[in-house]
Structure 1
Amino acid sequence: MVHDQAHQLARALKASREYKEFKAAREKLEQNETSLKIFLDLQAKQLELQTTQMSGKEVSPEKKAELEKIVGLLEFHPTVQKYLQAEYQFFRIMEDVHKIVSDTLDLRPLKTD
């Protein structure tokens, strides 16, 4: 029964406007080699900076400038902008679903107090 309801939820998500826009934006991004490269470069640079920060190291000004340069390129690539916006909207719904399930099941982090 739980699996059936999970599949029903997946179908509802797939039918949502946000998912359809995300999927269309992703397909458009994948078809544009230049925009896809810029997006993948942005993603790699963000991951690199996050990894550096999480390891307790300071991100160099050069690395920050590299990320800013890539972000600056987004202005000229509406395909990437639309994908990022659609991705944000869809994953916001996914986070909402996760929060609803977690709150309902009282799945909060353990406290060390």
Structure 2
Amino acid sequence: MNYDKAHELARAIRESEEYRNYFATHQNVNQDAEAKRMFDDFRKRQFELQMKQMSGQAPTQDEMEQFQRLFETISLNPEIRKLLEAERILSQVMEDINRIIAEPLEVLFTDQI
């Protein structure tokens, strides 16, 4: 298989408005020490909750409420809010791309059912 198309897709993603917007908003947050600290803390807590879920443990109601409050707090920062929105949009693009790429494999899964 020739990987030229995969590299072309990677370039297209890097050149896309969605990626460039995400990259720029991420840089803006990283340039503000307080916003970076808040966002890093949010990501750390998000990762911890995801790891807990992946290990089969359900987060407690208290943990979920604390995380929701943290999300609401960081969302008050306009640059972090922009970053979260840019991340959501880029994630949607990546999900769409993954779905399209996986289409040839669907026949493998539907024929075996």
TM-score range, shorter chain: 0.7 to 0.9
- The structure 1 segments of at least 4 consecutive aligned residues displaced by more than 4 Å after TM superposition are 107-110
C-alpha separation in 2, matches of 1:11 and 1:107 = 29
Contact 1:21–1:86 under 8 Å retained in 2: yes
**What RMSD over aligned residues (CA atoms) do the two structures have, in Å?**
2.5
C-alpha separation in 1, matches of 2:48 and 2:109 = 27
Identity %: 29
Contact 1:45–1:67 under 8 Å retained in 2: yes
Which residue type is aligned with residue 47 of structure 1?
F
Alignment gaps of 5+ in structure 2: none
- 1:80-100 CA distances to partner (integer Å, 9 max, x unpaired)? 111111111112111111111
Larger mean CA deviation between 42-51 and 17-26 belongs to 42-51
Alignment gaps of 5+ in structure 1: none
C-alpha separation in 1, matches of 2:26 and 2:109 = 34
Contact 1:102–1:108 under 8 Å retained in 2: no
Q: For residues 9-48 of structure 1, what are the structure 2 equivalents within 5 Å? A: 9-48=9-48
C-alpha separation in 2, matches of 1:107 and 1:80 = 41
- 1:78 lines up with 2:78 in the alignment: yes
> How far does residue 61 in structure 1 lie from its aligned partner after superposition?
3.6
Larger mean CA deviation between 98-107 and 30-39 belongs to 98-107
- 1:1-52 CA distances to partner (integer Å, 9 max, x unpaired)? 7322112112211221111111111111111111111111111111222222
Judged with a 3 Å threshold, the aligned counterparts in structure 2 of structure 1 residues 10 and 55 are, in CA distance, closer, same or farther, namely closer
Q: SS of 1:76's equivalent?
A: coil
Number of equivalenced pairs: 113
C-alpha separation in 1, matches of 2:8 and 2:49 = 38
C-alpha separation in 1, matches of 2:91 and 2:10 = 13
Which residue type is aligned with residue 4 of structure 2?
D
